[in-house]
Amino acid sequence: MTESLKSNMLEITPRTIQEVRKEYNLDKPGMMDQAIDILHNWIQKQDHLVKKDFCRDYLERIIISTKGSVEKAKKRIDKVCTMRTMVPNLFEKIHAKNDFPHLQDFYINLNLPKITEDNYRIFIAKIGNKPLSPSVYLQAYQLSVLFCEYMKLYDYTLGYHVIYDMRDANILDVVTKMDLVDLRNVVSFYTDGYGFRIKGVYILSNSSIIGTFVDVLKQLVSAKIGQRICVCKTMEELYERVPKHLLPEDYGGEQKSVLTLYDEWIEEISQDKHVEYLKVMRGACTNEKLRRPDKFNDDYLGMPGSFKMLHVD
């Protein structure tokens, strides 16, 4: 990892980088550089990919997300660029501080700075008790995209523990107001596009109808991820799945509060250099007129919102 791409928010040690590379047999001298070179050279030959000059750190993290498979990394690059073309509303906003000034009143999401001993990071999404609207959901998805872009440039882990804190939420309101097409596209963006590997999804709630939300969520993810969804009715149940000391202080942990971390994250991704980077990455799309017809498969045909055609793994 180059010195210029150190994150102000994420703690990443040389030990983590070495262990993650070793997990995918990419720890031998020169192996990662060779894999990046192959991926870079392939991109140059794809007429339908508009952007050709992805930085090496970004390509390395794409390769890590495919467990070292360059062939899968090619598909991942193609998928995320295609999504920018076919689901443009998720990529319209690029300045978190200006574009989402009141979102924290309804919804907060963030990645925690420290990682677990086995090199997984914890992600928290918290829904508040105020009535939600389609516009709030869209803003939440758009902010998630900004975080995705940042994490794919800086983070270096094996995957993520995902915590959905719905203790204050009106579950019925959540289920009835969410746009399932947008949510499906966001899930596909997370997993198919950027390849964020999900070790577990833990839903904090003691609502009697939380099962309804879980049933909806399972329809939007792969069977593999669906099996990793569990409901935690108490914090003690959550502590059995993620290290307590890595959680924010308002979750019983030793880290900064959720609101403090959220404010720091918004400041971080709203820096001029990141806003400019997001402008550039918004252009990392496809020109479908230049794509070979035999390469435009069912996955892409379903991307605008067909639940039948779009596959999430």
pLDDT tens digit sequence for 87-141: 898 899 999 999 999 999 999 999 999 999 999 999 999 999 998 888 898 899 9
pLDDT at 308: 30
All CATH 3.40.525.10 domain ranges in the chain, comma separated: 93-269
- The per-residue DSSP string of 11-28 comes to ---HHHHHHHHHHTT--S
Closest to 72 (Cα-Cα) out of 39, 117, 94, 112: 39
pLDDT at 311: 32
Where do we find the tokens 């995209």? Answer: 145
Please report the beta strands in the chain, taking only residues with DSSP state E, as ranges in sequence order.
Answer: 107-115, 120-127, 159-165, 198-204, 229-232
Task: Report the mean per-residue pLDDT for the chain.
Answer: 90
Q: Which residue has the higher pLDDT, 287 or 187?
A: 287
Confidence of residue 1 (pLDDT cuts 50, 70, 90): very low
Q: Residues 93-269: name the CATH superfamily.
A: CRAL-TRIO lipid binding domain (3.40.525.10)
Q: Which residue has the higher pLDDT, 5 or 110?
A: 110
Rounded to an integer, what distance in angstroms lies between the CA atom of residue 198 and that of residue 191?
8
Torsion of Cα atoms, 91 then 93 then 96 then 97, to 10° = 180
Which whole number is the average pLDDT over 149-163?
95
Query: Which CA distances in Å does 20 have to 195, 239, 282?
Result: 15, 24, 28
Confidence of residue 294 (pLDDT cuts 50, 70, 90): low
Percent residues over pLDDT 70 in the chain: 92
Report whether 107 contacts 130 (CB < 8 A). Answer: no
- Can you read off the two tokens belonging to residue 158? 């094996």
Angle, CA of 153, 154 and 157, to the nearest 5°: 110
Confidence of residue 296 (pLDDT cuts 50, 70, 90): low
- Residue range 265-290, pLDDT digits in tens: 999 999 999 999 999 999 999 999 99
Confidence of residue 307 (pLDDT cuts 50, 70, 90): very low
Q: Does the pLDDT of residue 29 top 60, yes or no? A: yes
Confidence of residue 175 (pLDDT cuts 50, 70, 90): confident
Residues 6 or more apart from 22 whose CB is under 8 A from it? Answer: none
Q: Does the pLDDT of residue 300 top 90, yes or no? A: no
